[in-house]
Amino acid sequence: MKKFLTMFMVAAMFGLVACGPTEEEKAAAEAEAAAMVEEMMGGLEEAIEESEEVAEEVVEEAAVEGEEAAEEVVEEAAH
């Protein structure tokens, strides 16, 4: 009986392995994964562009504020 169960279990394992995804399913899964990666990379690029724009605005504002502060110091020194 043990030999029969062992042979049955081995046959069942081979059967489960044979039931894997087909080539078409594998190709579809790869295409879906590639699309997801492209979507994520596109979102990342947009986020980088937005952060660069915000950084430029902050630098410009800081430069304007620095110039105004410098003018105030000059005016106070002149008095």
2 in any annotated domain: no
End-to-end CA distance of the chain: 109
15 in any annotated domain: no
DSSP code, position 20: S
Which ranges in the chain belong to alpha helices (H)?
Answer: 2-18, 23-78
**Number of domains into which the chain is organized:** 1
What count of residues does the chain have? 79
56 in any annotated domain: yes
64 in any annotated domain: yes
Q: Convert the pLDDT of each residue in 31-43 to its tens digit.
A: 999 999 999 898 8
Which residue range is the domain that position 57 belongs to? 21-78
35 in any annotated domain: yes
Provide CB contacts within 8 A for 16, sequence distance 6+.
Answer: none
Exposure string of 27-43, with b = 16+ CB inside 10 Å and e = fewer, is eeeeeeeeeeeeeeeee
30 in any annotated domain: yes
Q: Convert the pLDDT of each residue in 12-59 to its tens digit.
A: 988 887 777 888 988 999 999 999 999 989 888 888 989 999 998 888
65 in any annotated domain: yes
Provide CB contacts within 8 A for 29, sequence distance 6+.
Answer: 21
Q: In the structure, what pLDDT confidence band is assigned to residue 79 with cuts at 50, 70 and 90?
A: low
